[in-house]
């Protein structure tokens, strides 16, 4: 992906989220602890960065992380279950480097103030793997970049994310203090998460493949498609196609994992006929992320039901993992491919600002300028490409051959 293309990096500094400045002085935690601004600890031989929540009272007194009861559990698990020494293999830090007064859970503001220190460590040390223990660590590394509702650690635990910004694996899981308070099943899940994370240390991070995107003025090229399945995506004026004035603005057709056609939807039936014929072709299987959406818009606005649906990557995501909040294409693209916020410039224009399901969004406002129209087409193409790649991954995991 082009550097900064549709990511938070274009509009926001990693160390100054939302354009605000954060500092130790404004946080103030350093004033009331024995070991202020605790230094990272560990030999880092395996290039693993372990990020916790904040130093506890015992850690503050001894000057090192993971010295209390939760730390002993973590050390024991690393030694007995993972067969590695926590402080020899890893570098240990916390989302907040000072012991919070009264041992309170760090606030998001306190994490924001400390984030620049963590990001500096990542930039300098270049870890192969980052293990995030608990919600504060999750917020520290992902929260300022994820713009769609971070939610809690339950949503994120267990994923091995090949983060393309940090160029390393990111593996969130529970904080050991939560494991100590939880049921036996929680500890089992936690141990499995850690085992999966450690297995990623020596696995090469997959590199992002830049797709070939062809912007079409004439849809004749669609008549030459020879593949037996495609993924396609629409960008429209709203959520529902039935209300007066709604239309499909653009469409994209991914023919492989690395190639996609994209075009503004022609207004005349004759000009869009090659695409309509493609939808009607029973010999070519169709894939989409939430195929109900594409089906409705095809039937109502193009008057052509889609023939030969073969895969819905949103439904497959739910079958593979039924946790709430993880089936959106944007979440799956980050969790599976490590690409975050590729829609950041476009997303505000795809919302109506109204609770009325028939309301129009701001997409027509977006495409008034030619450069914005091209951005929309690029975004639409990426949706189709990622749907194709995600569907391929899911079919392999589920053992489904097309």
pLDDT digit string (tens) for the chain, length 402 residues: 444 344 434 434 444 555 577 899 999 999 999 999 999 999 999 999 999 999 999 999 999 999 999 999 999 999 999 999 999 999 999 999 999 988 899 999 999 999 999 999 999 999 999 999 999 999 999 999 998 889 999 999 999 999 999 999 999 999 999 999 988 899 999 999 999 999 999 999 999 999 999 999 999 999 999 999 999 999 999 999 998 999 999 999 999 999 999 999 999 999 999 999 999 999 999 999 999 999 999 999 999 999 999 999 999 999 999 999 999 999 999 999 999 999 999 999 999 888 887 899 999 999 999 999 999 999 999 999 999 999 999 999 999 986
* 334 contacts: CB under 8 Å, gap ≥ 6: 146, 161, 340
Dmax (CA) for the chain in angstroms is 76
Question: Please, what sign has the CA dihedral across residues 15, 16, 17, 23?
Answer: positive
- Give the pLDDT of residue 355: 82
Domains of the chain (ranges, CATH numbers) = 8-199 (3.40.470.10), 212-398 (3.30.420.10)
Question: What are the φ and ψ backbone dihedral angles of 204, each rounded to 5 degrees?
Answer: -65, 135
Strand-pair partners of 52: 94
Strand-pair partners of 233: 252
CB 38 within 8 A of CB 59: yes
- Give the pLDDT of residue 13: 47
**Could you give the CA distance from residue 385 to residue 171 in angstroms, rounded to a whole number?**
25
**Could you give the CA distance from residue 336 to residue 334 in angstroms, rounded to a whole number?**
6
> How far is residue 49 CA from its own chain's centroid?
20
Alpha-carbon distances of 185 from 17, 30, 192, rounded to whole Å: 36, 37, 11
- Give the pLDDT of residue 10: 40
- Reported pTM: 0.93
Residue 296 is encoded by which pair of tokens? 């409705």
**Could you give the CA distance from residue 371 to residue 357 in angstroms, rounded to a whole number?**
29
Residue 360 is encoded by which pair of tokens? 């129009």
- Give the pLDDT of residue 276: 98
- Give the pLDDT of residue 401: 80
∠ at Cα 381 (375, 382), nearest 5°?
Answer: 90
């Amino acid at each position: 992906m082009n550097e900064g293309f549709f990511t938070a990096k274009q509009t926001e500094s990693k160390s100054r989220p939302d354009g605000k400045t954060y500092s130790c002085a404004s946080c103030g935690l350093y004033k009331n602890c024995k070991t202020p601004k605790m230094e990272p600890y560990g030999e880092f031989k395996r290039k693993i960065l372990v990020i916790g929540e904040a130093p506890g009272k015992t850690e503050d007194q001894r000057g090192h992380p993971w010295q209390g009861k939760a730390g002993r559990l973590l050390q024991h698990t690393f030694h007995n279950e993972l067969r590695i020494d926590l402080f020899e293999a890893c570098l240990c830090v916390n989302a907040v480097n000072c012991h919070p007064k009264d041992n309170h859970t760090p606030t998001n503001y306190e994490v924001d103030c400390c984030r620049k220190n963590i990001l500096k460590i990542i930039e300098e040390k270049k870890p192969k793997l980052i293990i995030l223990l608990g919600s504060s660590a999750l917020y520290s590394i992902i929260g300022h970049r994820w713009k769609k509702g971070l939610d809690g650690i339950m949503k994120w635990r267990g994923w091995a994310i090949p983060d393309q910004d940090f160029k390393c694996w990111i593996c969130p899981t529970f904080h050991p203090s939560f494991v100590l308070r939880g049921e036996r099943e929680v500890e089992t899940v936690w141990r499995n998460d850690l085992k999966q994370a450690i297995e990623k240390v020596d696995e090469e991070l997959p590199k992002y493949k830049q797709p070939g995107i062809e912007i079409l003025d004439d849809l004749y090229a669609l008549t030459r498609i020879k593949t037996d399945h495609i993924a396609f995506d629409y960008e429209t004026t709203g959520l529902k196609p039935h209300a007066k004035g709604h239309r499909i603005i653009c469409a994209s057709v991914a023919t492989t994992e690395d190639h996609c056609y994209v075009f503004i939807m022609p207004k005349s039936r004759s000009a869009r006929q090659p695409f309509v014929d493609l939808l009607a072709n029973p010999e070519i299987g169709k894939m989409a992320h939430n195929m109900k959406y594409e089906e409705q818009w095809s039937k109502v606005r193009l008057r052509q039901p889609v023939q030969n649906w073969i895969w819905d990557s949103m439904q497959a995501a739910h079958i593979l993992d039924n946790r709430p909040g993880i089936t959106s294409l944007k979440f799956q693209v980050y969790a599976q491919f490590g690409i975050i916020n590729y829609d950041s410039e476009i997303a505000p224009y795809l919302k109506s600002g109204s609770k009325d399901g028939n309301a129009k969004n701001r997409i027509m406002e977006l495409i008034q300028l030619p450069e914005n129209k091209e951005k929309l087409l690029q975004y639409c193409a990426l949706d189709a490409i990622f749907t194709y790649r995600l569907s391929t991954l899911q079919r392999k995991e589920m053992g489904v051959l097309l």
